[in-house]
Amino acid sequence: MGAKIAPSILAADISSLHNDVSAVVKAGAEILHIDIMDGSFVPAITFGDNIVAALRKRLKEEEQVDITLDVHLMIENPQKHIETFANAGADIITVHYEAVPYADKLIEISNEIRSFGLKSGISINPQTPVSAIADIIPNFDLVLIMTVVAGRGGQKYINDCTVKITEIAEKFDVLIEVDGGVNLDTITIPAEAGADILVAGSAIFGKNDIGAAFVELENKL
C-alpha cells in the first residue's frame, strides 16, 4: 500500500472550513489531520474538541463518509484530554514525547487511547532522536515525525529528519507519519524513505483549487 496524504486543516480557511474540507474529501482524501495547540507546549492556540466533533458530525451527515480524523495533540498534559477527543470522534490520537518525557506515562496514555478503540501515536520534534522513544515504540500504532518546528504552518521541510523515517521503517512494525513542509518539491522524500502518512497543509489549502492541489500531490506518489 502506498503512502496516503492527510490534509491539515491548520492551513484551511476557518471562515469556510466545511467547504475546504469538503473539497479534499471529494478529491479522495481518506485522512484529515487536526492539530490541537494550547499556547503552552507550542506558542499558537488552534482548535479544540468542538472542531473534531463538528467535523465528524458534518462529514457523516452531509458527505456521508467515515473519514479518518487524525488528531495531533501539541499540548501540555495530554493525558487529561484523551477521553474528550475520543468522544469527539477522533480515530487516531497522537501525543508528543516532549510533553510527557516519561516512558511509563506514555505507555499509560497509549493504553488509554487504545481502550477507546483508537490508534495511538507518539510524536517527536526535529531535535529529538529516535533513540529517545525506541523502547516504547512497540506500545504505539504510529510514530509521527515532525519535519518542521512544531507550532506553525508553512515552514520548510528539514531534510535531516528523513533519516529518522528510514530508521523507524527498518526497525519497527509501526505506521510512520510525517508532518511539516510536505509539498510538490518534497513529498517524494519521506514517501521513498518509508512514510505511510504525509501531512500537507499549505500545499493543499493554500491553493486556489484545493481539490486539484490534493490530486496533484497524490499523483507525485
Q: Where in the sequence numbering do the catalytic residues fall?
A: 35, 179
Q: Are the CB atoms for 151 and 74 separated by under 8 Å?
A: yes
Q: Are the CB atoms for 79 and 112 separated by under 8 Å?
A: yes
- As a whole number of angstroms, the distance between CA 47 and CA 81 comes to 13
From 20, 28, 52, 37, select the one nearest 146 (Cα to Cα): 37
Helix and strand numbers (H, E) in the chain are 8, 8
Burial class (CB in 10 A: 0-12, 13-18, 19+), 132: middle
Strands 68-74 and 4-7: unpaired
- As a whole number of angstroms, the distance between CA 181 and CA 122 comes to 19
From 183, 188, 190, 199, select the one nearest 150 (Cα to Cα): 199
